[in-house]
Amino acid sequence: MRLQIVQAGEEILRVQPRQLSREEILSEKTRELIEHMKETMRYAPGVGLAAPQVGISLQLAVIEDREEYHKKLTAEQLTERQRQPLPFHVIINPRIISIDSTNVEFFEGCLSVSGYSAIVSRARAVTVEYMNESAETKKVHAIGWYARILQHEIDHLAGILYVDRMEARTLTTLDNLDRVWKNVRVSDLQARLRSSRSD
C-alpha cells in the first residue's frame, strides 16, 4: 500500500519524532509500516523516506539507491558524488557518532519539497549508529552520496528540512535543474552566482 507523502508546511515535518522501543521495532505494525514506506519510496521515486514524511512521528527511515536511478548521470558525475547503488535497508533511532570535517556541495531534493532542488553543503563522511528492523544495533561508516542520504534522513528525524541548510540562491525547479544546471559543475555554478551578485 502506497502512503501519502506530506509536503513542507505540515507541522509533523517540524517536530522531533519519538524513538521506538525494541518491542515496537519487532511488532507486526512496524513491519507493515516498513513495507508500505518501501513501496512509497520506490513509487515516488526516491532514495530515502522518513516516517514523518508519511505522517508518522517515529524515528524510522528507509533507504535505497537503485542502480536504475544512476542512468541520468555520467560516469564523471557518479565518481564526483561518490555514488554507488545501495541495497534497501532500514535505520531506526539513528544517531551520528562521528562526522568528517570536509564538506561537499551538491544539488539535493526532497519528496516533501516536491518539484524543487538546491545546493546543500554536507559532510563528506559520517559514522551512524542505528537499529535495524530486527532490533539489532548496527554501525555504518558512509562516504559520499550515502553519507548525504543518511544526513538528509536523520535531519528529517530532527524536524529539519534541506531548505534549512540550502544555499538559497541556488533553489531551482527540477525542470530547470535538468534543463539548465544538470551538466554544470557546482563550483562553476557558485562562481556564476557570485559574479551575478557583484554585477
Cell numbers describing residue 64: 535505497
CATH number at residue 148: 3.90.45.10
Closest residue by Cα to residue 162 from 108, 88, 83, 97: 108
- Structural domain total, the chain: 1
Domain membership flag for residue 111: yes
Q: What is the value of pTM for the model shown?
A: 0.94
SS3 of 84, please? coil
Q: Which residues are catalytic?
A: 153
Tell me, what's the pLDDT at 53? Answer: 98
Query: Are the CB atoms for 89 and 61 separated by under 8 Å?
Result: no
Across-strand partners of 127? 98, 141
Between the CA atoms of 143, 145, 146 and 152, what dihedral angle is there, to the nearest 10 degrees? 120
- Residue 4 belongs to a domain: no
Is 5 within the bounds of a domain?
no
**Average pLDDT over every residue of 165-187:** 90
Per-residue pLDDT tens digits for 127-175:
999 999 999 999 999 999 999 999 999 999 999 999 999 999 999 999 9
Q: Which of 122, 87, 83 is nearest to 105 (CA)?
A: 122
Reading the block at residue 9, the C-alpha cell is 508546511
